[in-house]
Each structure stands twice: as structure tokens, then as C-alpha cells.
Amino acid sequence: MDKEISQNENIIETVDLTKRFGKKNELVAVDSLNLSVKKGEVFGFVGPNGAGKTTTMKMLIGLLEPTGGSGKVAGFDIVREVIKIREATGVLPEPAGYYDNLTARQNLRFYAKLYDIDEKTREKRIVDLLELVGLSRAIDQRTGGFSTGMRKRFGLAQALINEPGVLFLDEPTSGIDPLGAQMMRDLIKKLSKEKGVTVFLSSHSMAEVEEICDRIGVIARGKLLAVGTVDKLRDKVREKEGVRYALEVQDLPVQRVIEGLKGVKGVRSVEPVNSHVSLLTGLGARMEIAMAVKSMGGTISRFEEERMDLQRVFLKLIEESA
Ligand SMILES: Nc1ncnc2c1ncn2[C@@H]1O[C@H](COP(=O)(O)OP(=O)(O)O)[C@@H](O)[C@H]1O
Ligand SMILES: [Mg+2]
């Protein structure tokens, strides 16, 4: 059980959490990470390979000792109270290893025994959990014969055996086919909704974290580049990069529109694209543009912001940090 942590309190928190590797500590895998995750949130840790996601998770669950800084999970210190953290959390590691000669049920029994769960509760929970992850029919099959998708779902059942308040899922969909990955994402959403578990998951896909996470932290080269909701991250990039619009005007030649908009406040560039114009502006230039078109005697038939796709937002943030 976690210490008394009320809603709105941080269930995961790090202060300048740092991990260095190498003989002379020359490789900084995680660099002064300051993170906070609220109870009940699904938090996505997104970044390219080698960014420091796994290293961070390992420190949070007490598998790796930090080189510097500190952290708390479920109210417990990640260095001094590792055993309490084990009790309060569930972990899906990447890659996950099981006793492949044992069946799903036997494997879960083994993990349940690590937590001193009484037999009756244990046997019922095993059945319930395997049903939850869609593996009821495989309950007495050896995990060695499971597909990658089945293994991941089984791992989720295993991570839930002690009814944890916090789940750490390291790349829960990596290596699974698209259908299996979708099943896994749906399952994570369901868990969060029905059981109120706090989920901390890592991924290298921005689209994936957008689909399932309340908030996202972008990490690259060990550094946290941005944190917030998807919309907030998008705004951050819009602010920096500007906003792109497609504008279509009736009653005026394209060339006239372009000339007329060049001097308008907030407009950075205007160019023709087929029968419309493409505009790059600062934030909040929309009104000025509409008024300028009107004063030229034109009628706007389309004025749409080009939605920046998330993968580009992600790459921009990483690029800018280099
Ligand atoms: N045990 C280790 N010894 C040395 N370097 C490591 C070790 N574990 C991870 N690293 C390095 O730390 C960096 C972050 O790795 P990792 O946390 O696994 O990234 P991610 O999970 O985001 O792909 C990488 O440069 C990796 O090579
Ligand atoms: Mg990793």
C-alpha cells in the first residue's frame, strides 16, 4: 500500500535525479530529471532509443541506484525504501522474462508467493487477472509458447498480482503487431479508468502516448525537454515555430491577396499554393489577417490552421535541444 497520498498529490516525484555510467562516470544516462506524476494519471515518457527511459524507470523501482538527486514513489524514498516501493508498484519490464516451462497460472502463483498473498485470494486473483488481459483460455498453457503480444499482456497480469497503486510499463507495445499493440493500449486505458491505477509508461511513439496519456514528458539524451498535455506541447512548438494557415479568398486574385497580406502584423511569410495561399504567422494573427482580407474587398472561403502532426512536434523538441 502507498502512504496516504490524496488526489492531486504527487505519487511519483524526482528531484535532480541523475544516473551516470562508465568507469569515470562519463556517460550521463539521466541528467537532473525533475518529474512529478499525480495519483491516477497516465503519464507517458516518450523519447528515442537511448534517451534514458529504462534507466529512469529502474531507478524509480529500486533496481538501479541513482548517482545523484532523489526520488519518491507512492510516498517512499527510491533509495532507502525500496522494499516498500516493491509492494506498492507493479512493473512490466522490457523485455520481460518468465519461467517458460511453467503455465500462465503457475507463473502467476510464483509471483504471488513473493507477496505473501493467501492461497484463496491468490487463486481467484490469478483467474481474474488472466481474464482481464484476455488470456483466460491460455491459463494452463506454458508461457514459452506465447506470442509477443500474449507475453506483454501476461506481463501486465503479473505486474498487477499485488494490486499495486502504481504501474511502471517499459515500452508496453514494443515488438507487438499493430492489433496486439492496440489491445494493449485499450487495456492500459481500461485499467486506469476502472482501477484508478497510476500508470507511468515509456514509448518511442508520440502517437501512442497521445492516445493513452493524460500528460507526456519528452526525454532525449537524458534530459527532460518538455512536460505537459499534448495540447500544451503543441502550443510550445507553435509559439516557437509559428502557425501555418491555408487561406482561400473569393473575389480577389491570389497575387493580390499575397501582396496585401505581406505587411500585416504577425505575418511571417505568404506564398501561393495552387488556388490558395499558405501563411506562416505568429500566435494570434488570425484576426488581423481576416480584417486585412476584408479591407481588400475579398471574401474568405477557407481559413484553416494546419495542425502540426505530433511526430513533428516530438522531433522539433528533440532537434532544438541538440
Ligand atoms: N548498465 C549500463 N551500463 C552502461 N551504460 C548504460 C547502461 N544502461 C544504459 N546505459 C546507457 O544509458 C543510456 C540510456 O539508456 P536507456 O535508459 O536504456 O535508454 P532508453 O530506455 O530510453 O532507450 C544509453 O546511452 C545506454 O547505452
Ligand atoms: Mg528502454
Ligand 1: which of 27, 58, 170 to mutate, most ligand atoms within 8 Å of CB? Answer: 27
**pLDDT score of 44:** 97
What pLDDT is recorded for position 312?
78
Expressed in angstroms and rounded, the spacing between residue 245 Cα and the centre of ligand 2 is 38
- Ligand at minimal distance from the CA of 219 is 1
Q: Pick the closest to residue 34 from 217, 266, 210 (CA basis).
A: 217
Pocket of ligand 1 (CB under 6 A): 21, 27, 29, 47, 49-55
Provide block-wise average pLDDT over 10 residues at a time, the chain (322 residues): 66 98 95 96 95 97 97 97 95 88 96 92 97 96 94 95 96 92 94 93 92 95 92 83 93 93 94 92 93 95 87 80 77
Closest ligand 1 atom to residue 48 Cα is 22
Locate 266 and state its grid cell. 504577425
| Pairing outcome for strands 166-170 and 198-203 | parallel
Smallest CA separation from ligand 1 atom 16, residue: 52
Q: Which ligand is nearest to the CA of 93?
A: 2
Q: What are the φ/ψ torsions at residue 119 (nearest 5 degrees)?
A: -60, -45
pTM metric for this prediction: 0.86
Q: How far is the CA of 190 from the centre of ligand 1 (A)?
A: 31
Protein residue whose Cα sits closest to atom 11 of ligand 1: 29
φ, ψ dihedrals at 21, nearest 5°: -120, 170
Nearest protein Cα to ligand 1, atom 10: 29
C-alpha closest to that of 68 among 32, 99, 41: 32
Ligand 1 center to 15 CA (angstroms): 20
Among the bound ligands, name the one nearest to the CA of residue 220.
Answer: 1
pLDDT at 237: 80
Could you give the domains of the chain? 10-228 (3.40.50.300), 240-309 (3.30.70.980)
